[in-house]
Amino acid sequence: MFLEKKLQQVLSQSLKELFDSEVDEESIKLQPTRKEFEGTHTFVTFPYLKFSGKSPEQTGQLIGEYLKDRTGLIENYNVVKGFLNLQISQKTWLELFQFIYESEDYGFSPPNGEEVMVEYSSPNTNKPLHLGHLRNNFLGYSVSRILEANGCKVHKVQIINDRGIHISKSMVAWQKFGKGETPDSTGIKGDKLVGKYYVKFDKQHKQEVATLTDKGVSLEKAQREAPIMLDAQEMLRKWEEKDQQVYQLWKTMNSWVYHGFNKTYVQMGVVFDKLYYESDTYLLGKEEVLKGLKKETFFKKEDGSVWVDLTDKGLDRKILLRSDGTSVYMTQDIGTAILRFKDFPKIKNLIYTVGNEQEYHFKVLFLILQKLGFSWAQECYHLSYGMVDLPSGKMKSREGTVVDADDLMKEMIDTAEEHTKELGKIETLTEGQAKDLYVILGLGALKFFLLKVDAKKRMLFDPQASIDFHGDTGPFVQYTFARISALLRRAEEMEVNSNTLTFNVILHPTEVEVLSLLNEFPNKVKLAAEEYNPSIIAQYVYDLAKSYNRFYAEVPVLSQSDHDMLNFKITFSRVVAQTISKAMGLLGIKVPKQM
RNA sequence: GGUUCCGUAGCUCAAUUGGAUAGAGCAACUGCCUUCUAAGCAGUAGGUUCCGCGUUCGAGUCGCGGCGGAAUCACCA
């Protein structure tokens, strides 16, 4: 950013003086120079030929010459076809470093007064969290952090789908087969216990359906009218009537689940500022739909069901209330959205982190909110992410191919422990510190793996082979941080005076490369926020670490005899470590001082 | 069938939003620990960017037509 501004300025100036053309500084685009050419920044001359009236090469030559002679910014240049490659002068690089070093919070913006809400995690209370939730949560959490880094105040919220037929199913099965089991009595985590009964329901249901179809009942009818299914529906009715016993059971079982979820969230390292429950919002949604019906925004069918007609927007008709008056998914979401803007009237943006399978749903939801006359409907955004596939294909709870969140995290942590012990570099850590380290590394690997891929894209996760601790991974970046930390510890022992920085030094090419990346950091943070895209940060921090490692391998730091050089390289390393730590923080990943 | 998204090295992913000879990691192979952490560094090999046509100085990227895959189109959530 620092460099771009200066370059844009002098380029605009040169265009004016050389060709007498007014070009807005902001509109001048620079791109990184391909590494087979000399230089770091490239200016493409093609768009400006109309001003110069000369060939691409000549235009490049003229501008390059001007910059070299008239400004101290570049020390050399070369022209290949229409590409003007600029080599920034040492002096400029050092100015840049000084600027970064002295910046209060380099790359991050101070509060700008904007308020946004990010929803991530929308679990059902009938089964445990799985790999899909991990991508969802890491993504939403990271996007929140990135928005915060850009100065926004972020409300991190969760919507808990705590009502409906699915939880009734678990409740019925627990009543029938549970024999009073509780998380305490069994030692099973609450969400797992409830999930167990959800599976039990499914099993029982299948059996009953089979019995019925054997008697000649059609499959569809059998599925609908199997005794246990009727029980579940009855239970849902009783719940809506607030039947004491059912309500109590519902509260109890949900509390088990929340307790279990919380453990999982703590391990994941994600937090929420506020929780929304669908049981609190579905009635509000219903009210709004009835209001809309009065105003004839919606219409009623003969059987009493309420619909919205979106055919004028190229979409379909969509049901909002069933013929028996009960609400559907959409009804709840209408209520939730309204409640949120009531709770936080100042929010500029409501971001839903939800899988791309629900794109249609959100398109419809936002249109309905618009029809209801809420101006803020424009501010709702569906942050849609792709599904996580397994080598065996899609995850399906019924077929037992779901990767459980707790299991996966534990596996990652165990692998990290194994790896660390093999390398044997942490004898000085206490047992507690070592345990913490395994969590940092295991989760770092997992988060980085899930976040480095563009969120919009469907991705493949191979539990056996996908998670590596080498190469383009979380631990690689963490390692770079730990390495620099070790270096800095040593430097401290040497008592190097780093208070006075005199930049009377000669830069190594690898240092220029790193500086060029450090210069990019603010851009990346901004871009990641604009696109709600953490993968930009993940790719960036990998490049930075990679590039620093090259420097580390080629340039000795502590054995520098010249004081200024020594001092510079230590400070330089510290700035890189700080930037790595900040970038990883945006991904929700911690970095260890030793590993 | 309609709509939307996707197709890049053996595998997993990039490619600065239309820029130069399409880049990383993994897997394979070759070097580098008596000097700051080798979870590292350097190197070799690997490509008709699914196919075809078009748009222009320039296409993995934009348009059209195919082929292949996914999601969605519920009185499920």
Q: A353-395: per-residue pLDDT in tens?
A: 999 999 999 999 999 999 999 999 999 999 999 999 887 777 6
Distance A389 CA to B53 C1' (A): 35
What would the 3-class secondary structure string for A506-554 be?
A: CCCHHHHHHHHHHHHHHHHHHHHHHCCCCHHHHHHHHHHHHHHHHHHHH
Q: Would the pLDDT of A561 be above 90?
A: no
Q: Determine the pLDDT at residue A582.
A: 98
One domain, residues A210 and A287:
yes
The CA R_g of chain A, rounded to the nearest whole Å, is 30
Phi, psi of A96 (to 5 degrees): -60, -45
Boundary of a domain, candidates A389, A424, A440 = A389
Which of A36-45, A68-77, A166-175 ranks highest by mean pLDDT?
A166-175
What is the identity of the amino acid at A260? G
Chain B bases closer than 7 A to any CB of the protein: 4-6, 11-17, 19-21, 23-27, 35-42, 57, 70-77
Mean pLDDT calculated for residue range A446-468: 89
Nucleotide with C1' nearest the A166 CA: B77
One domain, residues A509 and A452:
yes
Task: Report the C-alpha gap between A189 and A266 in whole angstroms.
Answer: 14
Q: Determine the pLDDT at residue A26.
A: 81
- Which residues are within 8 A (CB) of A244 and not within 5 positions of it... i.e. 6 or more apart? none
- Span A406-447, pLDDT tens digits: 999 999 999 999 999 999 999 889 999 999 999 999 999 999
Nucleotide with C1' nearest the A542 CA: B24
Task: Report the C-alpha gap between A339 and A362 in whole angstroms.
Answer: 17
Band of the pLDDT at A82, cuts 50, 70, 90? confident
Q: Determine the pLDDT at residue A198.
A: 93
One domain, residues A485 and A524:
yes
Strand B and chain A: which residues 142-181 have CB closer than 7 Å? Answer: 161, 164-166
More reliable by pLDDT, A346 or A327:
A346
- Beta sheet of A30-32, edge-to-edge order: A30-32, A41-44, A83-88, A74-80
Band of the pLDDT at A500, cuts 50, 70, 90? low
Instruction: Give buried/exposed letters for A374-386 (b at 16+ CB in 10 A, else e).
Output: bebbebbbbbbbb
Phi, psi of A164 (to 5 degrees): 125, 180
Work out if A397's Cβ lies within 7 angstroms of strand B: no
Work out if A452's Cβ lies within 7 angstroms of strand B: yes
Q: Would the pLDDT of A464 be above 80?
A: no
Q: Poorest-confidence range of A104-108, A154-158, A461-465, A500-504?
A: A500-504
Regarding beta strands A299-300 and A274-277, do their DSSP bridges make them parallel or antiparallel, or are they unpaired? unpaired
Which of A126-135, A137-146, A558-567 ranks highest by mean pLDDT?
A137-146
The reply to whether A108 falls in a domain is no
One domain, residues A361 and A263:
yes
Band of the pLDDT at A499, cuts 50, 70, 90? low
Strand B and chain A: which residues 253-272 have CB closer than 7 Å? Answer: none
Domain containing A31: what range? 2-88
Distance A55 CA to B55 C1' (A): 24
Distance A376 CA to B71 C1' (A): 28
Q: What is the dihedral of CA A423, A427, A432, A438, to 10 degrees?
A: -10
Work out if A399's Cβ lies within 7 angstroms of strand B: no
One domain, residues A361 and A419:
no
Biggest CA–CA distance in chain A, Å, is 94
Distance A207 CA to B46 C1' (A): 53
One domain, residues A380 and A432:
no
Distance A240 CA to B43 C1' (A): 69
Distance A393 CA to B10 C1' (A): 20
Residue A269 C-alpha from the chain's centroid: 13
Band of the pLDDT at A496, cuts 50, 70, 90? low
Asked whether A170 and A196 are in contact (CB, 8 A), the reply is no
Work out if A555's Cβ lies within 7 angstroms of strand B: yes
A304: domain CATH number is 3.40.50.620
Strand B and chain A: which residues 530-549 have CB closer than 7 Å? Answer: 531, 535, 539, 542, 546, 549
Phi, psi of A467 (to 5 degrees): -90, 115
Q: Mean pLDDT, chain A, as a whole number?
A: 92
Q: Determine the pLDDT at residue A399.
A: 61
Work out if A109's Cβ lies within 7 angstroms of strand B: no
Q: Choose among A23, A144, A6: nearest CA to A537.
A: A144
If one counts the domains in chain A, the total is 3
- Which residues are within 8 A (CB) of A386 and not within 5 positions of it... i.e. 6 or more apart? A355, A356, A455, A456, A457, A458, A459
A422: domain CATH number is 1.10.730.10
Q: Determine the pLDDT at residue A406.
A: 96
Boundary of a domain, candidates A70, A88, A106 = A88
One domain, residues A133 and A248:
yes
The reply to whether A94 falls in a domain is no
Nucleotide with C1' nearest the A162 CA: B77
Nucleotide with C1' nearest the A551 CA: B41
What is the identity of the amino acid at A174? W
One domain, residues A437 and A491:
yes
Mean pLDDT calculated for residue range A275-288: 94
Distance A391 CA to B50 C1' (A): 22
Report helix, strand or coil for A305.
Answer: coil
Mean pLDDT calculated for residue range A543-549: 97
Q: Would the pLDDT of A570 be above 90?
A: yes
The reply to whether A17 falls in a domain is yes
One domain, residues A411 and A514:
yes
- Span A199-253, pLDDT tens digits: 999 999 999 999 999 998 888 888 888 999 999 999 998 998 899 999 999 999 9
Task: Report the C-alpha gap between A515 and A364 in whole angstroms.
Answer: 47
| Percent of chain A residues past pLDDT 70, beyond the cut | 97
A45: domain CATH number is 3.30.1360.70
- Any idea what the Cα angle at residue A45 is, between residues A41 and A50, rounded to 5°? 160
Q: Determine the pLDDT at residue A497.
A: 62
What would the 3-class secondary structure string for A451-518 be?
A: HCCCCCCCEECCCCCCCCCCCCCHHHHHHHHHHHHHHHHHHHHCCCCCCCCCCCCCCCHHHHHHHHHH
Task: Report the C-alpha gap between A252 and A247 in whole angstroms.
Answer: 9
- Which residues are within 8 A (CB) of A355 and not within 5 positions of it... i.e. 6 or more apart? A132, A136, A384, A385, A386, A387
Q: Determine the pLDDT at residue A498.
A: 60
Band of the pLDDT at A1, cuts 50, 70, 90? low
Nucleotide with C1' nearest the A319 CA: B75
Q: Would the pLDDT of A257 be above 90?
A: yes
Work out if A5's Cβ lies within 7 angstroms of strand B: no
The reply to whether A454 falls in a domain is yes
The reply to whether A592 falls in a domain is no
Work out if A36's Cβ lies within 7 angstroms of strand B: yes
The reply to whether A369 falls in a domain is yes
Work out if A236's Cβ lies within 7 angstroms of strand B: no
One domain, residues A272 and A325:
yes
- Span A320-344, pLDDT tens digits: 999 888 888 999 999 999 999 999 9
One domain, residues A424 and A302:
no
What is the identity of the amino acid at A15? L
The reply to whether A37 falls in a domain is yes
Mean pLDDT calculated for residue range A78-94: 91
The reply to whether A574 falls in a domain is yes
One domain, residues A267 and A165:
yes
What is the identity of the amino acid at A425? K
